[in-house]
Amino acid sequence: MRAAVLLNPGAGAVASRDLTPEAITAAVAGVGGEAKVELPPAGQMAERARAAARTFDAVVAAGGDGTVRCVAAALAGSGTPLGVLPLGTLNHFAKDLGIPTDLDGAARVVGAGVVRPLDLGEVNGEMFVNNAVLGFYPLVVEARDRERKRTGRGKWLAAAWALAKVLPRVPALRFRVTVEGERVSRKTRLVFIGNNEYEMNVFTAGARNRLDSGDLYLYVADCPDLPSLLGLALYALVRDARRSPRFESWTAPELTVECSRRRLHVVLDGEVFHLAPPLVFRNRSRVLRVIVPGETAARDEVSSTTSSNERRSA
């Protein structure tokens, strides 16, 4: 297999692990593959992914969730498989798929894994592999990034500083959502739209059992003020937040968020976008082919079969 590996040199684990293009090439070669490693300039990752998809057997995103999002969006519908070398800080997408976070383990999946069609989320033309978040969180991400640039602080320390600064000041978001023909209005500090279903407690937040259900999951925290939001956070320390009376959820392949603001700050897979409402969210079912471990493919097959049987029984 010939794979183009698109490496983001700014990914969280690259410098700390001394992950050079030569090391990545050797890791892929060690499992019988051939890799061409590129370091696209800022802003050219998607363009290089589209070009590579025309000439390589697979295109590998080497970076964090933001890098994966960018490459996945470029490959959607192309038929060219996406491989993942998880070199970011959190690597939610890779972890949900059971892809190892060490270079050799991830390279083995690229070389010997199974290709599965998975879902992507979309909002106003922008793709996401994990989730979209509205409310206070996008402002925290922006403040965190400014603090890191200004002081050189690490990501976690800057995030803690940004949270303490932003959370008490940010106003609640008033919005209307239309889902499955139902139109409701809410006032909250947190809106979360997942590409497939998420667990919602502090210790497993971000975990998904499958990524091919064809649905988006909308989670709204009924927390218009800071005390109620903190109370929900404490609840999530011991139980799944979805069981809280302050937590609402809807499931649908498409939903629309309306708001009187001219622009909404939206975090897509860890990166902030400024989008004009209405925000039209869609699940693009199984539009992305991804190389996953064999055991993950078997698990997903069982999940899909079970879900199909349940729908027929209903």
Domains within the chain, CATH numbers bracketed: 2-112 (3.40.50.10330), 128-284 (2.60.200.40)
Q: With contact defined as beta carbons under 8 Å apart, do 275 and 124 qualify?
A: yes
Rounded Cα gap, residues 230 and 10, in angstroms: 33
Contact 219, 248 (CB under 8 A): yes
CA angle at residue 92 from 90 to 95, to 5 degrees? 105
Model pLDDT for residues 216-263, shown as the tens digit of each residue? 999 998 877 777 777 777 766 667 777 777 788 899 999 999 999 999
Cβ atoms of 251 and 102 within 8 Å: the answer is no
pLDDT top residue among 25 and 280: 280
Q: How far apart are CA 110 and CA 95, in angstroms?
A: 15
Write out pLDDT tens, residues 272-294.
999 999 999 999 999 999 999 98
- Between residues 15 and 253, the one the model is more confident about: 253
Q: For residue 4, give both structure tokens.
A: 């183009």
The Cα–Cα gap between 3 and 155 comes to 31
245: alpha, beta or left? (left if phi > 0; alpha if psi -120 to 50): alpha
CA distance 110 to 3: 9
Report the alpha-carbon distance of residue 137 to residue 152 in Å, rounded.
21
Residue 59 scores a pLDDT above 70: yes
- Amino acid at the residue 170: V
Contacts 24+ apart (CB under 8 A), 181-189: 182/250, 186/220, 186/222, 186/248, 187/224, 188/135, 188/220, 188/221, 188/222, 188/223, 188/224, 189/135, 189/136, 189/221, 189/223, 189/224, 189/225, 189/226, 189/229
Which amino acid, residue 146? R
Q: pTM for the complete prediction?
A: 0.87
What pLDDT does 154 receive?
86
* pLDDT tops 70 at residue 297: no
**Over the stretch 104-128, which tens digit does the pLDDT of each residue have?**
999 999 998 999 999 999 999 999 9
Q: Is 80 exposed, middle or buried (0-12, 13-18, 19+ CB in 10 A)?
A: buried
pLDDT band at 10 (very low <50, low <70, confident <90, very high): confident
Cα dihedral 301, 305, 308, 310, rounded to 10, equals -130
**Binning pLDDT at 50, 70 and 90, where does residue 81 land?**
very high
Q: Are strands 82-86 and 58-63 parallel, antiparallel or unpaired?
A: parallel
pLDDT on residue 108: 94
